[in-house]
């Protein structure tokens, strides 16, 4: 590899890291929907077109943000109050993110659909399936799917305008009711 190639590789790595950092900050500050690709590029100090080169799309960048934030460790399942609170607070800050959307409606981009579905299963469904399997529950996969779908629906519905009490409730109130309904810590 020539010195010029090494420089390009280091520059590409720096651009990718800067985009990931900027996306993490902006998704946290503004939410997924209110963050544009252009803003991510501006904050990163690079051409926003590099998002497509390094990540493929905004949705795939979001999935990469999740991976970077949580690392490779297996997440705790949603039937623990701290984990449910973390997911609910993140949904509240970031809005209807691809990870929750894919639970109720396919994404239009096939690559984003596949990656987001994989992240949904790894982060939310698989830990519940494992718990239900350990507990000897009947049809653990179906139980995990239904629980994640219902919680995703609740978190998305908070901002739909269709449910007044749900929209007016605090995240803590929503988590408390969900734990009362589903939790068995």
CATH number of the domain enclosing 7:
1.10.10.60
- Rounded Cα–Cα distance for residues 139 and 155 (Å): 25
Query: Which of the two residues, 87 and 96, has the higher pLDDT score?
Result: 87
Are 174 and 90 members of one domain? yes
Are 59 and 83 members of one domain? no
| Max Cα-Cα span within the chain | 63
Are 63 and 80 members of one domain? no
What's the domain range around 154? 75-185
Domain boundary among 27, 42, 73: 73
Q: How far is CA 130 from CA 79, 83, 127, in A?
A: 12, 15, 5
Confidence of residue 1 (pLDDT cuts 50, 70, 90): low
Are 54 and 98 members of one domain? no
Query: Which of the two residues, 96 and 164, has the higher pLDDT score?
Result: 164
Q: Is pLDDT above 60 for 161? A: yes
Of 174, 74, 183, 51, the closest CA to residue 124 belongs to: 74
Q: What is the pLDDT of residue 94?
A: 78
Number of domains in the chain: 2
Confidence of residue 9 (pLDDT cuts 50, 70, 90): low
Q: Is pLDDT above 60 for 6? A: no
- Rounded Cα–Cα distance for residues 124 and 127 (Å): 6
């Amino acid at each position: 590899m020539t010195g010029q190639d090494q420089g390009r590789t280091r520059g590409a790595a720096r651009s990718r890291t800067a985009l990931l950092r900027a996306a993490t900050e902006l998704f946290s500050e503004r939410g997924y929907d209110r963050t544009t690709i252009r803003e991510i590029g501006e904050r990163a100090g690079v051409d926003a077109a590099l998002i497509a080169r390094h990540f493929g799309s905004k949705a795939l960048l979001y999935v990469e943000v999740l991976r970077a934030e949580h690392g490779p460790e297996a997440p705790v399942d949603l039937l623990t109050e701290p984990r449910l609170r973390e997911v609910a607070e993140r949904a509240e800050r970031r809005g209807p993110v691809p990870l929750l959307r894919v639970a109720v409606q396919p994404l239009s981009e096939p690559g984003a659909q596949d990656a987001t579905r994989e992240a949904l299963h790894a982060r939310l469904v698989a830990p519940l399936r494992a718990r239900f399997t350990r507990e000897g529950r009947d049809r653990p996969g179906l139980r995990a799917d239904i629980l994640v779908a219902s919680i995703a629906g609740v978190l998305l519905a908070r901002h739909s305008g269709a449910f007044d009490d749900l929209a007016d409730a605090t995240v803590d109130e929503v988590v408390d009711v969900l734990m009362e309904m589903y939790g068995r810590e």
